[in-house]
Structure 1
Amino acid sequence: MRRITIKKCVTILISLFLLNTIMYSANRVGLNYSDHVPDGYSLVWNEEFDAKKVNGGKPALPDPDKWFYETAEPGWVNNELQTYVKGFIDTDTVAAVYDGTLKIRAIPRGDKVYSARINSINAWTYGYFEARLKVPGGKGTWPAFWMLPKNFTAWPLDGEIDIMEYVGYDPNFVHSSVHTQSYYHTIGTQKTAKKEISNAETEFHIYAVEWTKDYIKGFVDGVEYFRFDNDGTGNKHTWPFDAPFYLKLNLAWGGDWGAAQGIDESALPATYEIDYVRVYQK
C-alpha cells in the first residue's frame, strides 16, 4: 500500500482549499450564472449586496439610492400578520446587508412579528429580471420576489408579475404567476405554475422572468416552467404588461396563502436571503 507523507497531505488540502475559494469567488461575481440570461440581453441595472458593515460593525441597510421601504400594519394586504418597518425594530435589523447577501428577517416581538418589504426605485418595461435567492421554511413564511407597475392605480387591473413566491407549508415548491383583471386567484382564473426544487430552503437558486411585448416566461436555474402569452387583443384586462414595473422583495408572515395550513411560531425568526438582483434588457 502506497503511503502519503504528511507534507503531501498538507499540499493536497491547501490545493483543495484554494480551488474552493476560486470557485466561490467566481460564483459571487456571477461567472457561473450568466448562461441563464437569454441571448441578446445586456445588464442595465444590478444590486450585488456587497456593502460592508458600518458604524462600528453594524450591518448596512439596503442602498437608499436603489431601494425604498413600504411600511404597514397587520392586515394591510392578504390578511398578513406581519408589521412592515423601515429597516429596524428595537436594535435588530429586518433588512440587513452583510457577508455578501441581503437578509430580510421576520422577527417576533411580543405579540407582533416585524419584517421588511423593499422596492426598487427604478422601473422598466420589458426585460429579463433575475435574483439568486434562498428561502426560509416553516408554516407561515411567505417570501416573494415580484413586480408591480410604477403608476399603480388598482389591483389587479394594472397587473402583477410574480417571479418567485414560496409558502413554507408546501416545502420545496416555488411558484411563478401573473395577475390581471381577467386572470387572478380570487375568481379562480389565475395564470400560474409551480416547480419542485428539492433544496430551496438550504441552497441558493436563480429565479427569473423574461418579459417581452409577446409573453412572460418564468424560470428556475435557467429552466422555463411558466409561460403567459399576450393575446394580442389590446385589452388591458388580459394584458396590462406594457408599462414600467418595479421590483419588490418581501418576507410576509401568515396571510391568506402563507397561513392556509396554519402557522408554526417555532419557524421564527425566519430569514430570506438575497445574493443579488439583476436586470437585463435588449
Structure 2
Amino acid sequence: MNLYSLLLVVLIFVSCGSSNDASGMIAPTVNVSPTQVSATYEGVVTKLSITSDQEWTAFSGDACKEWVSCKTSGSIGTQGTVEVTVKANTSNQSREGEIIVKSGITRISIPVSQDAKPEEPVDPDIQVPEGYKLVWQDEFNNTSLSTPDESLWKYETGHGTDGWGNNEIQNYIAGSKDGVVCADVSNGTLKIIAQKVGDEVYSIRMNTRTNWKYGYFEARLKLPKGKGTWPAFWMLPDPFTSWPDGGEIDIMEEVGYDPNNVLSTIHCGAYNGSNGKQKGDGSYIATAQTDFHIYAAEWTEDYISFLVDGKEHFRYTNDKTGTATWPFFTNFNLKLNLAWGGNWGGAQGIDESALPATYEIDYVRVFQKNK
C-alpha cells in the first residue's frame, strides 16, 4: 500500500468514527418540559424542567424580554428548572415570544404566547374614530395611584447622550427623586412638572410599554408656559433601532418662546432635523397653554395624518420609494416628555422664573382598525 492509499484509509476511518459537528464540538442532549408556555392576559408564573448533560442557561428572546423573565436553578448533568414569569397583558392584542434554552452548541426555542386583554365596554363619552376600536387607554382616573401606572408606562432617565441629542438641559427622573415629584396623577389628569432643584432641572420622559403598528393615537393636552419649555407627544420605533433612519412621528410639539404654535413633524432618512429637511406643519391654537385640546395622528400604511381637535393640519404620504422616505412599517410606542432648553426649546434663551412648569395630560388613547 502506497503512502497516498494509507492516508486515504486513515481519513475515512476518522470521518466514520466521529459524531462531532463540523466544528468538532459534541452537541449536548437537552430535554425541556413542557415544550411551550401559554398564558392568559392576567399573566402566569410557571416552571420548565430542564435536563442536559452539559452546563445550560435560559433567557427570554428579544421579542418578549419586556414581559417574560426567567430564573434558572440546577447544576451540570442534573435536572434543573426555569421559573418563567409572564407579566399581565394590558393591551387588547395577543403577543408572542420565546424562551431560549442554551447548552453548548444546542439552542432550543420554547414558544411563549399570551392572550389579549378582553375588550371592555367603551365609555359612551369616548368618541371612537369611524372604522376603529379602542385598544389601549390611560385616563389617569385611578384614585389608588398618585403617579403613572407603571404597568402601562416606563421612564427614561438621566441627561441622555448630548442632552438626548438636542442639548437639552433637564435631568429626567423616574417619577420622583429625593422627595421632588415630577409625575403627579391627581384629579383625573397627569401633571408632568419641570422643577428647579439645586443646579439641575428635573423633569419626565415616559414611554408606553405597549407598541403598535398603525392606528389612531390621541391625547388631550394642556401645554406649559414659559421660555425654555418644550413639551412633546410623539412616537419612536420599539425596539429602538436608529435615528433618523428608523423614523420618528411627532404628533405634537411646542416651544415656550413661541407660545400656542403647535407643530406636527416626521423624521426619516431622507427628511430629518439633521439635514434640515424634516416634513411638517403647524397650527396656531390661541388657548393651547390655558385649555385642553386633542392632538392626534392617524397612521396607516399609506399616510400619516395629524389633527388638532379633529381638524387635519398636516399629512405625510407614503411615496412608495423605500425606507428612506417611509420607515413607518414597524411597531412604535408613544412618548410624553417635557424638555427644558435645548437646540429648539432654548433657541431664544430660557427663563427660570417659569419653573416649575406643568404639562397636563387628561388622557392618552389608542385605536386600531376593526378587522
Instruction: Find 1:45's aligned residue among 118, 136, 139.
Output: 136
Within-5 A mapping of 1:23-172: 31=125, 34=127, 37-52=128-143, 60-73=146-159, 75-172=163-260
* 2-structure distance, mates of 1:186, 1:246: 22
Distance (whole Å) between structure 1 residues aligned to residue 340 and residue 202 of structure 2: 9
Q: Does 1:190 align with 2:271?
A: no
Q: Distance in 1 between matches of 2:335 and 2:124?
A: 21
Task: Give me the whole-angstrom Cα distance separating, in 2, the residues matched to 1:72 and 1:148.
Answer: 18
User: Hey, what does 1:9 align to over in structure 2?
Assistant: none
Displacement of 1:89 = 2.3
Match of 1:267 among 341, 351, 354: 354
**Contact 1:178/1:192 (CA < 8 Å) preserved in 2?**
yes
Deviation at 1:256, TM superposition (A): 0.3
- State how far apart, in whole Å, the 2-side matches of 1:214 and 1:103 are: 35
Please give the per-residue CA displacement for 1:188-230, whole angstroms capped at 9, x wherever unaligned. 2110101000000000000000000000010000000010000
**How far did 1:53 drift?**
5.3
Q: Which segments of structure 1 move beyond 4 Å, counting only runs of 4 or more?
A: none
Q: Which runs of 5+ in 2 are unaligned?
A: 1-122
Residue 111 of structure 1, CA deviation: 1.2
**Under a length normalisation based on structure 2, what TM-score does the superposition of the two structures give?**
0.64
Question: Does the aligned pair in 2 maintain the 1:172–1:198 contact within 8 Å?
Answer: yes
Deviation at 1:72, TM superposition (A): 1.6
What amino acid does structure 2 have at the position aligned with 1:236?
Answer: T
SS in 1 for 2:353: helix
- Kindly report the root-mean-square deviation, in angstroms, between the aligned alpha carbons of the 2 structures: 1.3
- The one-letter amino acid of 2:131's match is G
Deviations 1:124-176 (A, max 9, x none): 00000000000001110000000000122210000000010010000111010
Partners of 2:154 and 2:238 lie apart in 1 by 13
Verify the 8 A CA contact 1:53 1:98 in the aligned structure 2.
Answer: no
Amino acid paired to 2:336: L
Give, in angstroms, the shift of residue 251 of structure 1.
Answer: 0.4
* Greater relative contact order structure (CA < 8 Å, 6+ sep): 1
By how many angstroms is 1:91 displaced? 1.3
The whole-number CA distance in structure 1 between the counterparts of 2:191 and 2:202 is 13
Q: For residue 30 of structure 1, report the CA deviation from its aligned partner.
A: 7.2
Q: Give the structure with higher Rg (CA).
A: 2
Distance 1:151 1:276 in 2: 24
Give the paired residue count.
Answer: 245
Give me the identity figure in percent.
60
Aligned amino acid, residue 351 of structure 2: D
Map residues 172-187 of structure 1 onto 2, 5 A cutoff: 172-187=260-275
Aligned partner of residue 154 in structure 2, secondary structure: strand
Indicate how the Cα distance of structure 1 residues 103 and 148 shifts in structure 2: closer, same or farther if over 3 A, else same.
Answer: same
**Take 2:230 and 2:362, find their aligned partners in 1: how far apart are those partners?**
18
SS of the residue 1:76 aligns to? helix
The one-letter code sitting in structure 2 at the alignment partner of 1:120 is T
